[in-house]
Structures are given as structure tokens and as C-alpha cells.
Structure 1
Amino acid sequence: MKRWNGLSVTVIFVLLAMIVSACGGSGGNSGSGETGNNGANASGKAVKISLLNSKGEIQTQLEEAAKAFHEDNPDITLEIMAAPAGTSPFERASTLYASGNPPTMMMLDTGDVEKFKDRILDLSEEKWNADAVENATNLTTFDGKNYGFPLAIEGYGFIYNKAVLDEAAGGSFDPSTVKTRDDLENLFKQIEASGKKALIISPMDWSLGAHFLPLAYAGQNKDMAEVNQFMDSLKAGTEDLSGNAVLNGLLDTFDMMKQYNIDKKSPLAGVYERGPEVLGKGEVGIWFQGNWAWPQIQDFDTASGAYGFLPVPVSNNPEDYGNQEISSAVSKRIIVDKEKSTPEQQEAAKKFLNWIVYEEKGQDFLVNQASIIPAFKNITIPAADPLGQSIQDYIARGKSQESMSTLPADHWAKVGASMQKYLNDSGDRATLIKEIEEYWTSVK
């Protein structure tokens, strides 16, 4: 054994004294949970937090926002975790909880929030609740407590490239001229007569199962209470969908879309990325999708940003509900874990949410970078992109149909698969309707 001499012992005591002094000088108990101006605790201890992102189209923008947030809050580091493509946010969040390693924040679909309410933070006391748009927190409030941060208002329908439609119409295209299925088919014919393809159908299960088919649910009635009764009858097995006018009308429109689909010969071969490319390059005039697609369309845009939305008509009566309305709602919600995250991480997460709502950089990320329509009245920045502007216009004119925000987490995968078979002509309408009815009677 090596023997320590007196000098060595002295040096050791001096070093120990310096370490103790440094720790004491940092100020405060690192476990106190108190936060300073930089969002970390009062000791200045660095805090690492994470966010599960289920909007893959804004992964890059979120990563840049995390850097900007860190610049404003040097003691907080935010990691953005991408949810795997094709996996529902509920499935991914459930897997992370099962592994005992959930992120600090998770971006979920509205209907998933309640499933986690015993494991996540009550956000009712946060300032932004008072600044949220009307009804923005209704669907995430349980027993008087709100558990979800309303990230975005989203809408969807037929996105059109105005340059293509102007050429087809032989002048400036007027979207108000399309009010019926026949109007839509006439437009398709005009586009194809001009030498372009009418539209592209993206075959992803989430697009068909979470967006297109639910138009038939929401279109049952303007009154959501009536829609909810309809959904209850589906679950009870008392609704005969084979005779439902709205569903059959929507499928009649889908049949017509299939005939004009640029990928008609291989309807399931397409991927999401193909849609914004062919629309932005002007190879097709119309794409069924939502305003979240703008960043990708913009990458290919040759039309100087001239785009807008058309509703999806379900009949040839222009007065029928849905024929002139665009589906929209507060969609994605951010929740904060309380089961595994520390008090310091929870405070840092809340600071990030407030940064989005109240700080100039946060608002810029939301509106200008991520092309999101904010769900907060205090954010007065107009939509930076034409699709957001189009959605805002429909809402302002009272021409919006509330999206189905609380569908079960497996709806898009199971019913979306049935829609894919219908798109591919490997299942007829009777089979599709039977599978939709069987799905709903299996929902617990």
C-alpha cells in the first residue's frame, strides 16, 4: 500500500474545502423544485426534458424550436423524439410507459388524452387556459381539470393548386363554384382536358381511416350531440350503415375519386411524400389532405404559393351539410408526464408551453415555421401559408364542420385497412360497411 505523506493530506483537505465551498455557493437545494428565471431550479442545475412528436412533418421545425428555446433558457435542454411512422401516438406513448421511460411531454391525438389522465399533470392552472380559443380544452377536461395543451387547429379537405385550376377553368378559378359531386367531377374533367391529372389519393391508413371516412360520421348532423348519438348507435350495433345516406354519398364521391386518381393502376403504391410533389409541381390539380402538408408542398411549389381548400361533397344537393364545409378542429395536444418526470422537469416543460404561447420566438415557430393555426386568441399573427389562411377563412364564414377528434386510437389502422381494400377494389362496398360496423361493435 502506498503511504500518504503530510503534504498529500493537506492538499486533499484543501481540495475538499474548495468543492464544498463551490457546492454551497451555487445557491439553493437542487431538489427543492423552485425555478429561477432560466427555467431550471434555483441552484442553476441543468434540466433535460423531452417531447414525443407525433407530427412528423414538423420534426425539423420542432428541433429548431428546441434550439431557440434553449437559447432563451440556457439551463433547459429539450430533446425532440420522433414517433415512428405508421404508429399511433397512443401506441408509442403506451410503449414508452410500459418500458418505464416516458418522455417529459407527449404529443397525442385529442381522444388519447383521457387514457393517460392518471399519469399526467393537471394543467388547469396554467395561464394559457384563459387565452385558448373557445372550446379548445373541452375534450381534454375531466372532473373539472384540463390535462391537455391545445397545440394546433387543423383542417382538411381537397387541397387545390390554383395555377392548375386557373388553366383548367380558362380564367381565375372560383372555389365557390364547387358545391356538389357533379360540380367536382366537372372540375376533374376540366383539369384532365387541360393535360394534367385531376387528383392523387394518398393510400395511407391514417389518411383514409382518420380523415376521409370520419367525414361520414361528422356529416350526420350539424349538432355534435346528434353525431354523438349516432356514434353510440354504431357501438350498440343498432345503426344500419348500408342505408345511411351520408356514408353512401361519401363513398359515391370516393368511387369517383378512384376513377380520376393519378395512381389508379396501383392505388396502394403511393406514399405520403408523393402527394406534395405532384401537387406542388402542378402534375395534378387536387390532393385530399390537410393544412399540415404545407411545408412539404412548399418544397415543390411552382405556383407562387397559390393554394386553397375545397370541401368534400357528399351529394348533388348544394344545401346538404358538408358540401360547403371544411372539417376542422383543435387536433394535437401536448401532455406532461407526472409519473416519472421530476418536479424540475415538469416546471421546465410548462415553461416550454408558455414559451410557445407568449414569446415571440415561440409564436414564430408555431405560425411561420410549422405552419400551424394556433389555438390561442392572444396569438394574432395571421396564418403564414395559403392553406392555413384558407382554413381560417372557412371558419370565419361559419363554413366549418367539427372534425372527429375522439375516435379510438386503433380506428385509423383497422378501419383504414378496410378503406385501403376498398380503394384497391379488393373489397366491395358491402364488405367495407360490414367491417366498419364490426369494428364499432367491438369498441369497449
Structure 2
Amino acid sequence: MKSWKSLQALLVSLVMVMVVTACGGNAGSKPADSSTAEGSANSGSASGDVKITLLNSKGEIQTQLEDAAKAFKEDYPNITLEIIPVPAGQSPFEKASALYAANSPSTITMLDTGDVEKFKDRILDLSEEKWMSDKVDGSTDLTTFDGKNYAFPLSIEGYGFIYNKAVVDKAVGGSFDPATITTTQALGDLFKKIEASGTGALIVSPMDWSLAAHFLPLAYAGQSADKAAVNQFITDLQAGSVDLASNKVFNGLMDTFDLMKEHNIDKASPLAGTYEKGPEVLGKGEVGIWFQGNWAWPQISSFDTASGAYGFLPVPISNNTDDFGNTQISAAVSKRLVLDKEKSTTEQQAAAKTFLEWMVYKEKGQDFLINKANIVPAFKNITLEPKDPLAKSIQAYIAGGKIEESMSALPADHWSKVGASMQKYLAGAADRATLAKEIQEYWTTVK
């Protein structure tokens, strides 16, 4: 995990980008270097055509990636890019591992940050790529091993409670101020006001990845603003020396989760919900709040009846406004792209590198990232201003120094195993003591 100072540097760099915006292989074959990537891709293979694949673990931008592949082909007619989705319920680590086991890895694989190191002997060193000089400071710290960077930082993502401003404005009888929600009590009062106005307070999405890759990690990251202390907490969890059941931050976060369970529109059948239902009911104004991240904007916008008026609220963990986490939202560089070197040809590797550069430097590529996929980019040279309100909300929190670093290097099976425990708790099939015990038992098995 990178240090808090590294994250601060990353965020400062991103804020500077915002200021500018506001103002204006075959095994054994030699990988193509960045200086020849575009030329090799244009010349292609002996047949003149190169086909590459991208394993996509961000299902919410599958359509946007498919459209990007078409736009990319317009600029590079001899390169065909196929987008392969990771099946719902399967982690990118599991799918990528299965493809390698079958000797058919994708040319480009989208991994979670913590998975990159597991594949470093099978993927290309990207340290000399052109975009390395334009990346946001600190954005490759977690994917650099022995002085070599192995991954392309695709996006900065943030998450928390997304609110539909039209709904909450009606609930509070005026213009809602998100700065008023800084405690668990204030959040509970807002839930009640929304319900009193005739609308559902919120929907809780029961997917294991949402519960255990995003919500529960707030209990880890929220231990301290000092990243070293957070790292030590994880070390202590692995050593079995943490009593999670008595941990203040964990219990505070679960108190908030209990509020969510109480006001969940799906509480009668809490595990029956789907990801797709969340953006629909929020966008249509059938609920006021949904716990999710900025990646959900493409889906929310397709149902939007609030004229794009949405933003983020922190997930409070106590009734003390000054406690870390009560006024911050979680954010970090999340998804990474890595390039296969075991089965991909030199021409395919060059074509894949060309696609990465296309996203960073070409107009259509930047348009895909910012306007189509609604991604907050991790590159200082990209000064397009995001149009979506969730990216803007994240930028406002960053500019205000109100960021809690996301736990982007969790073990690959964390969301599936711990997620199952969170689902039991959500459904009332386990109490808090059981949940804490199962989480602790999981960590003691992590190698």
C-alpha cells in the first residue's frame, strides 16, 4: 500500500489538473517498446491486421468500451479490439487466472490494484511508456515492484452515499446542503425526512463486491488518517491480534449499516436486489440515496429525472463530527490495465500500447474516458472537464482535502469471502459478533 504522503501528492496533482480545467506475446519474443508501438500497430502483422482483446472487469462501462473499440478502429483501421466482460459474480483475478490456465489470456486485462503483483511475471514492464511522464503523482506506486511499473492507471474512483438532490430538497423543505450530514444521527434524520416526504430513503445493493470491496473497507481505511496506522491495522488483523468486535470504527460503521438496513426499500427481501435496480430507483426519484460510486453515473443518467443534480455524502461512523471519515469520501486510483507478455505477439503488444496512448493523448480516447465512461483520469495532461455530477462531486471533495484513501490493494478473494459474511448480516442470518468473528478468521488465512 502506498503511503498517505503519496496519496496527498496524487490528490494535489489532480487538483492542479482541475484548476487547469476550470480555467480552460509469444513467449521469448521481444516486446515492442513505446517508441515503436504506434508504428508497429499501424504496420500490423504480416497480414496487415492485428486483433487484440481486453478483459473488462467494469461491467458498467461494457457498452462504452465496445463503442471505444469502434472509435479506436476508426483511428487505427488495422487494429481490431474485442472487449470481453468478466462474468457477473466472478472477480477479475479469477477470470484472468482461468484464461492463463487455458493458455488464452487477453492481450489487455483490467485488474484491481491488489491483483497486479500476482501477475507481474506474466505481464509487460510499462515503465518506459510515454504516458508515465503525464500520470498523476503516486498513481503507479502500488503497481511498481523492483523499480518497474507493470500497470496503466485507468481511473480515479470515489464512492459514498449518492444523493438525488431533487428528492432530498423536497425532504428538507429547501436547498439541501450536503455539509450538514457529518454524523450517524444526522444521516438517520435525513432518512426519516425523506420517508416522511413520501419517498423511499435508500436502496442497499446486496452484491458481494459492493458490500466487501467498498462498504466494509471503510472500517479499515477509517482507522486513521495516517496510512501507516491503517497498514498496521491490516497487519494486526492478519496476525489475529485485533478484536474487531470491540473496535470503535468497525462498530460505528456497522451502526450506520444498521440504519441502512432499517430504511432499505428492499428490507423485506434484502438479498433479492440487483445492481441494475439501484440506478433506476435513484434516477427516477423513487429513493433519495444509494451507496455506490461514480462509476454508476452512466446507468443513473439513463433514468435521470433530476436534471443531473446528484452528489456524494460521506458514510459517517460516529456522532462526533471531528472523527476521521465523517466528512470524507473514499477515493483512489482503482482499476489498472496490464499487458500480457506470455502469449501475445510483438505486434499485439504494440497494438495494446497504442490503445493505452490513444486514451491518454487522442481526442476520441479522452472523450471516451471523460464523457462516455465518466472516468476521473489519472493523467495530468487531460484537462477535459467532466460533465457528470458525480465526478464533479469527487473533485470538490479532493479540492477540499476531504478524501479517505480507498483500500485498493485488498486480497483478491476479500470481496467474495467477506462479502458472503456481509450478505448474511444484511439478511439477518448473522449477528454482529458473528460477522466480526468471520472477518477476523478470514484475515488470519491471508498469506
| TM-score using structure 1 length | 0.92
CA deviations on 1:158-179 (whole Å, 9 max, x unpaired) are 0000000000011110000111
Aligned with residue 131 of structure 1, among 134, 142, 151: 134
Which residue of the partner structure matches residue 103 of structure 1? 106
Name the stretch that deviates more: 377-386 or 136-145. Answer: 377-386
| 8 Å CA contact 1:90, 1:108 repeated in 2 | yes
| 8 Å CA contact 1:268, 1:420 repeated in 2 | yes
**CA–CA distance in 1 between the matches of 2:241 and 2:298?**
43
Which residue of the partner structure matches residue 352 of structure 2? 349
Q: Give yes or no for the alignment of 1:442 onto 2:442.
A: no
Which residue of the partner structure matches residue 380 of structure 1? 383
Which residue of the partner structure matches residue 208 of structure 2? 205
Percent identity, aligned pairs only, is: 71
Q: Compute the displacement of 1:242 (Å).
A: 1.3
Q: Compute the displacement of 1:39 (Å).
A: 2.7
Which residue of the partner structure matches residue 318 of structure 1? 321
What amino acid sits opposite 1:100 in the alignment? N
Q: Give yes or no for the alignment of 1:143 onto 2:146.
A: yes
What amino acid sits opposite 1:196 in the alignment? T
**CA–CA distance in 2 between the matches of 1:125 and 1:38?**
17
**CA–CA distance in 2 between the matches of 1:68 and 1:41?**
18
What amino acid sits opposite 1:213 in the alignment? L
Which residue of the partner structure matches residue 293 of structure 1? 296
| Residue correspondence of structure 1 range 302-317 to structure 2 within 5 A | 302-317=305-320
Report the CA distance shift for 1:32/1:129 in structure 2 as closer, same or farther (over 3 A): closer
Structure 1: gaps of 5 or more residues: 1-30
**CA–CA distance in 1 between the matches of 2:31 and 2:396?**
48
Q: Compute the displacement of 1:257 (Å).
A: 1.1
Which residue of the partner structure matches residue 418 of structure 1? 421
Q: Compute the displacement of 1:41 (Å).
A: 3.7
| Residue correspondence of structure 1 range 15-30 to structure 2 within 5 A | none
What amino acid sits opposite 1:373 in the alignment? V
| Residue correspondence of structure 1 range 40-439 to structure 2 within 5 A | 40-41=43-44, 45-439=48-442
Report the CA distance shift for 1:140/1:343 in structure 2 as closer, same or farther (over 3 A): same
SS in 2 for 1:156: strand
**CA–CA distance in 1 between the matches of 2:45 and 2:339?**
21
**CA–CA distance in 1 between the matches of 2:294 and 2:401?**
18
Greater than 4 Å deviation, 4+ residue runs: 31-35
**CA–CA distance in 1 between the matches of 2:50 and 2:290?**
43
Q: Compute the displacement of 1:127 (Å).
A: 1.1
| TM-score using structure 2 length | 0.91
Which residue of the partner structure matches residue 10 of structure 2? none
Please identify the structure whose Cα radius of gyration is greater: 1
CA deviations on 1:145-197 (whole Å, 9 max, x unpaired) are 00000001000000000000000011110000111001101111110110001
| 8 Å CA contact 2:41, 2:50 repeated in 1 | no
Q: Which has the higher contact order (CA 8 A, sep 6+)?
A: 2
CA deviations on 1:345-385 (whole Å, 9 max, x unpaired) are 10110000000000000000000000110010110111120
CA deviations on 1:61-86 (whole Å, 9 max, x unpaired) are 10111011111011111111111011
**CA–CA distance in 2 between the matches of 1:103 and 1:307?**
36
Structure 2: gaps of 5 or more residues: 1-29
SS in 1 for 2:302: helix
**CA–CA distance in 1 between the matches of 2:149 and 2:168?**
44
Q: Compute the displacement of 1:256 (Å).
A: 1.1
**CA–CA distance in 1 between the matches of 2:320 and 2:328?**
13
Q: CA RMSD in A?
A: 1.3
**CA–CA distance in 2 between the matches of 1:302 and 1:365?**
24
| 8 Å CA contact 1:38, 1:72 repeated in 2 | no
SS in 2 for 1:442: coil
